[in-house]
Amino acid sequence: MSQLTKFCLVLIVLCALVFWNNPASATSENEDMPNLLQVNAWNANFGTSENYVEDSYKDFINTFPKGHVDKLKDSAGNVAGIVFYYYDQSSKGYGALYYDSTGKKMSPGCSNDLIFYDNYKGNGSSTTEEVKDDTQEENSEDESDEEVTDDTGTTYNDLLDVLEEDDTNEKGFSSSKECAKSLINGLPDRFRKDAVLVKATFKATGSTGKHLIRHCAGIETSDEGLVYIDSYSGKAGNGIDKRVTVLKAGQKWKAESACKSCSGDETGRYNRGKVLKVQEMDL
């Protein structure tokens, strides 16, 4: 065998090994998981239960046999919550929704001191697959609709869906800057990659001299361009996301509700007065 032939064989083997171990294969496996819309629809249909963690765990697996789910417990062994995973196109290839033992959504940060257990990663068992196959034809139209409305878009309405799931406005922050940075860092990659931190200096209505500063998030959308989101935090869950519709030096700051689950606030009580300067800042 010639040296050239040997070299070619070695090269082919190396290429095959690289392909086999490519991390993208893990991402492709995640594509069998339900997407965010499907998980949210399932959870809304499931509702509440006296034994939420155990009952939702079983129902999630029955509904999504190739889904991923974890239970959570505290250091004393008490059941504390559950995590449902969904497929997305981020670098990780998945996202996660956290709920406590009563079925109330909680922040991922609240799970730092909890223990993950009873991890289920879809095994596609024959019994579950048979149930899925029996209903495949009946639900084909619904599945097609879900594919069309996947959570990968970047329109303003897609952003509103993201804000609906985001809990930044339920937390307390020391400043509007920290609140805006938290909102940006919590965005999915498709929005976060082009997002900017915006600093607005303005003179509030009725002010006699002192200038005020407010930070908000500038988020690029495919249909309405750059939009400004001002997240008002509230420790009691009474925060609200505002879209700043006018943010230009020399004009009055104008905002409206951008949060489906919050009050409309059509009166614009958060309007800030005349804008003096607008700057994009480093995160």
Which of 79, 52, 57, 86 minimizes the C-alpha distance to 70? 57
User: What's the pLDDT at 109?
Assistant: 58
Is residue 131 included in any domain, yes or no?
yes
State the average pLDDT over residues 177-192: 91
Same domain, 111 and 176: no
pLDDT at 189 over 80: yes
Lowest average pLDDT, out of 3-7, 119-123, 242-246, 247-251, goes to 3-7
Cβ pair 229, 238 in contact under 8 A: no
User: What's the pLDDT at 134?
Assistant: 33
User: What's the pLDDT at 55?
Assistant: 93
Burial of residue 256 (number of CB atoms within 10 Å: 0-12, 13-18, 19+): middle
Contacts of 268 (CB under 8 A, 6+ apart): 254, 255, 256
Lowest average pLDDT, out of 112-126, 149-163, 181-195, goes to 112-126
Residue where a domain terminates, one of 142, 172, 205: 142
Cβ pair 222, 157 in contact under 8 A: no
Query: Which band of pLDDT confidence, cut at 50, 70 and 90, is reported for residue 58?
Result: very high
Which of 217, 220, 205 minimizes the C-alpha distance to 181? 217
User: What's the pLDDT at 254?
Assistant: 80
Same domain, 97 and 193: no
Residue where a domain terminates, one of 142, 169, 185: 142
CA distances, 135 to each of 74, 129, 131, 264 (Å):
38, 10, 7, 40
pLDDT at 141 over 50: no
Same domain, 160 and 277: yes
User: What's the pLDDT at 22?
Assistant: 46
Is residue 16 included in any domain, yes or no?
no
Q: Which tokens in the block code for residue 92? A: 């990780």
Lowest average pLDDT, out of 75-89, 159-173, 181-195, goes to 159-173
Please write the tens of the pLDDT for every residue from 227-258: 998 877 655 445 677 788 888 888 887 877 76
Name the 3-class secondary structure at 164. Answer: helix
Could you give the number of structural domains in the chain? 2
User: What's the pLDDT at 21?
Assistant: 45
pLDDT at 36 over 80: yes
Which of 94, 92, 59 minimizes the C-alpha distance to 82? 59
Query: Which band of pLDDT confidence, cut at 50, 70 and 90, is reported for residue 266?
Result: very low
Domain that holds residue 209: 156-281
Is residue 267 included in any domain, yes or no?
yes
pLDDT at 197 over 90: yes
Residue where a domain terminates, one of 89, 115, 142: 142
Phi, psi for 54 (deg, rounded to 5): -70, -45
Which has more pLDDT, 260 or 130? 260
Is residue 13 included in any domain, yes or no?
no
User: What's the pLDDT at 203?
Assistant: 81
